[in-house]
Amino acid sequence: MFPAPTTPWLLHPQLAAETFAVGDLTLSRVLLMNDTNYPWLVLVPRQAGAVEIIDLDDTEQAQLMREIALTAGVLKDVTVCDKLNIAAIGNVVAQLHVHIVVRRRGDAAWPRPVWGTVPARAYEAAERERFIAAIRAEIAFG
Amino acid sequence: MFPAPTTPWLLHPQLAAETFAVGDLTLSRVLLMNDTNYPWLVLVPRQAGAVEIIDLDDTEQAQLMREIALTAGVLKDVTVCDKLNIAAIGNVVAQLHVHIVVRRRGDAAWPRPVWGTVPARAYEAAERERFIAAIRAEIAFG
């Protein structure tokens, strides 16, 4: 008689604790990782229960790729970038999220991956706001 | 008067040395990483000079996502899989390649990422051929 209640999407508290919100794209929330070692965004598809990319349907997967390419391109434009690292890992926080990390030769973890190697260095407020503003100047968030 | 000679795509020798060929999809060569610690495929788009996902055009990016989803789904079907790790890193080998790694709680690196943590353990030939056959039974390679 009644449709099953749908579970609303909520950002995982650990992701919320480690990041600042930048804006919402069609599918994903864009977050800035609170780590000045690397310019580092995280895309979180707002799809309750999604853990793997293959938990998204074909249309959402295609949209995720467009949002990965969009944010990767903007990061490359507004930073000094030798390499992009793009990854959906989720061994610790299962909620589907995609890391988009700008790497520079000689950065804190280079050439190792950024996960679990070097402690995060928090942003100061002004530096963070400048970086978020630079991203928002390039992306039309909803 | 003459078109510029096009550079043919060639698999990077380090990727060739660490893997076995499984088959070619529309865009990507599928490789099996020679490491029994984890069921681990690598997709290499056969696009000469590509280093970043954003070096591919929109159509190729969409195709790459379809091939990621296809291979990830097959890996999940033919293995015991607690989590998929999907990543384009390339800090050491620049040629664009995407890792599709099956993770199990308690595997050699769990919950850390697989890159640079635990030395690879090579396959024995029979075990390798069984695994490649299981993947080929699920994917129609060109």
**Cα-based distances in Å from B43 to A81, A133, A136, B39:** 23, 35, 32, 14
Residues B16/B85, Cβ–Cβ less than 8 Å? no
* B5 pLDDT above the threshold of 80: no
**Strands B19-24 vs B83-88: parallel, antiparallel or unpaired:** unpaired
Q: Any CB–CB contact under 8 A between B25 and chain A?
A: no
State the pLDDT at residue B75: 98
Token pair 């249309």 in the structure block, residue: A59
Q: Model confidence over B117-140: pLDDT tens digits?
A: 899 999 999 999 999 999 999 998
Q: Per-residue pLDDT averaged across B75-97, rounded?
A: 97
Asked if pLDDT for residue B62 goes beyond 80, the answer is: yes
**Set of chain B residues whose Cβ sits within 8 Å of the Cβ of A57:** none
Q: Which residue of B has its CA nearest to A93?
A: B111
- Tens digit of each residue's pLDDT (9 = 90 or more) over A101-115: 999 999 999 999 999
Contact A101, B90 (CB under 8 A): no
Look at residues A71, A57, A78, A58 and name the one whose alpha carbon lies nearest to residue A28: A71
Give me the pLDDT at residue B1, please: 53
Q: Sheet of B28-33: strands edge to edge?
A: A19-24, A28-33, A40-45, A98-103, A83-88, B83-88, B98-103, B40-45, B28-33, B19-24
pLDDT attached to residue A4: 63
Q: Which residues of A touch B65 (CB under 8 A)?
A: 53, 61-62, 64-65
A87 → closest Cβ in B65, B86, B111:
B86
Mean per-residue pLDDT for B59-85?
98
Best residue in A14, A40, A54, A82 for a mutation probing chain B (most B CBs within 10 Å):
A54
| CA within 13 Å, CB half, B76 | 15
Residue of chain B nearest A89, judged by CA positions: B85
How far is residue B31 from each of residues A68, A86, B44, B60, B96, measured CA to CA in Å? 24, 19, 8, 19, 13
Confidence at A140, pLDDT banded by 50, 70, 90: confident
Share of chain B above pLDDT 90, in %: 92
Q: How many C-beta atoms surround the C-beta of residue B126 within 10 A?
A: 8
Query: Per residue in A116-139, pLDDT tens?
Result: 889 999 999 999 999 999 999 999
Confidence check: pLDDT of B31 > 80: yes
Write the DSSP symbol of residue A55: G
The full DSSP string for B79-141 is S--SEEEEEE--SSS-S--EEEEEE-TTSTTTTS-STTTS---PPPHHHHHHHHHHHHTT---
Tokens, residue A93:
């926080």
* Chain A contacts in chain B segment 110-139 (CB below 8 A): 110-113, 115-116
Best CA proximity match to B113, nearest among A116, A38, A37, A33: A116
Task: Report pLDDT for A117.
Answer: 87
Report whether pLDDT(B6) > 90: no
Q: Tokens 């610790």 identify what position?
A: A92
User: What 3-state class would DSSP assign to B28?
Assistant: strand
> Are B88 and A91 in contact (CB < 8 Å)?
no
* C-alpha torsion sign, points A95, A96, A102, A103: positive
pTM of the model: 0.95
Closest CA to B64 of B85, B37, B33, B43: B43
- A43 in contact with B at a CB cutoff of 8 Å? no
**Mutation site for A-interface testing, chosen from B86, B99, B104, B118 by largest number of A Cβ within 10 Å:** B86
pLDDT (mean) for B89-109: 97
Q: What is the pLDDT averaged over residues A33-56? A: 98
Question: Does A49 touch chain B if contact means CB atoms closer than 8 Å?
Answer: no
Whole-number pLDDT of residue A116: 86
Is it the case that residue A1 has pLDDT exceeding 60? Answer: no
**Does B69 reach chain A within 8 Å, measured CB to CB?**
yes
pLDDT at position A6 over 80: no
Q: What is the pLDDT of residue B3?
A: 60
What tokens were used for A44? 């979180």
Write out pLDDT tens, residues A74-92. 999 999 999 999 999 999 9
Q: What are the residue ranges of helices labelled H in chain A?
A: 13-18, 58-78, 125-136
CB B43 within 8 A of CB B21: no
